[in-house]
């Protein structure tokens, strides 16, 4: 290998390292801080998510169905299950228009339908920023990767353990 080839190889390696760091799961998460102002947004900004999506989450299967919007709400349902069919969780979610912007609200249930957030509770994720192909909610980022693919980065708070970021790759289900 000559000097030029070694140099180009080094440049490629440095570039790829920078790209990997730029898109590390933790770097994809933003969190709400006091004084944050949500950008202007409507359901039309997330309407491309309508449909049936499949993917994986922590080695388990994951499916998400997102319904057409109505009156400023775009609800959905998700489920995760292990290879043996054991349900990891169910999730009812809703993108809603709130205060001239968007929120993503989520309620989780166990396989026995016990609510993780309590009877009346849910998780509220306010929109922090909109980019060309990404939506940054408090603790959740959705990155559009073409018409039929997207990735979700979810901050999972540890109960006495270290927080972590789960990565969910989704593809539109074939009809």
φ/ψ of residue 158, rounded to 5: -85, 130
Which tokens go with 135?
């939506």
φ/ψ of residue 117, rounded to 5: -95, 10
pLDDT the model gives residue 1: 47
Q: Which helix (H) or strand (E) holds 175?
A: none
pLDDT the model gives residue 160: 74
What domains sit in the chain, N to C, each tagged with a CATH number? Answer: 37-172 (2.40.128.20)
Which tokens go with 121?
């509770």
Is residue 107 within 8 Å of 117, Cβ to Cβ?
yes
Which tokens go with 129?
């920023």
Beta bridge partners of 81: 61, 87
pLDDT the model gives residue 23: 64
- Whole-angstrom Cα distance, residue 83 to residue 114? 22
pTM of structure: 0.82
pLDDT tens, per residue, the chain with 175 residues: 444 333 333 333 333 334 333 567 778 899 999 999 999 999 999 999 999 999 998 889 999 999 999 999 999 999 999 999 999 999 999 999 999 999 999 999 999 999 999 999 999 999 999 998 999 999 999 999 999 999 999 998 877 778 889 999 999 998 6
């Amino acid at each position: 290998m000559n000097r030029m080839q070694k140099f180009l190889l080094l440049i490629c390696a440095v570039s790829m390292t920078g790209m990997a760091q730029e898109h590390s799961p933790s770097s994809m998460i933003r969190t709400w801080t006091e004084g944050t102002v949500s950008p202007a947004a409507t359901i039309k900004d997330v309407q491309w998510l309508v449909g049936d999506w499949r993917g994986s989450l922590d080695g388990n299967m994951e499916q998400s169905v997102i319904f057409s919007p109505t009156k400023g709400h775009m609800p959905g349902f998700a489920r995760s299950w292990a290879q043996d069919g054991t349900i990891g969780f169910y999730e009812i979610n809703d993108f809603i228009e709130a205060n001239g912007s968007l929120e993503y609200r989520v309620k989780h249930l166990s396989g026995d339908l016990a609510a993780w957030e309590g009877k009346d509770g849910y998780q509220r994720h306010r929109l922090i920023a909109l980019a060309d192909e990404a939506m940054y909610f408090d603790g959740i980022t959705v990155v559009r990767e073409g018409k039929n693919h997207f990735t979700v980065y979810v901050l999972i708070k540890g109960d006495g353990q270290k927080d972590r970021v789960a990565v969910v790759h989704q593809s539109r289900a074939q009809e």
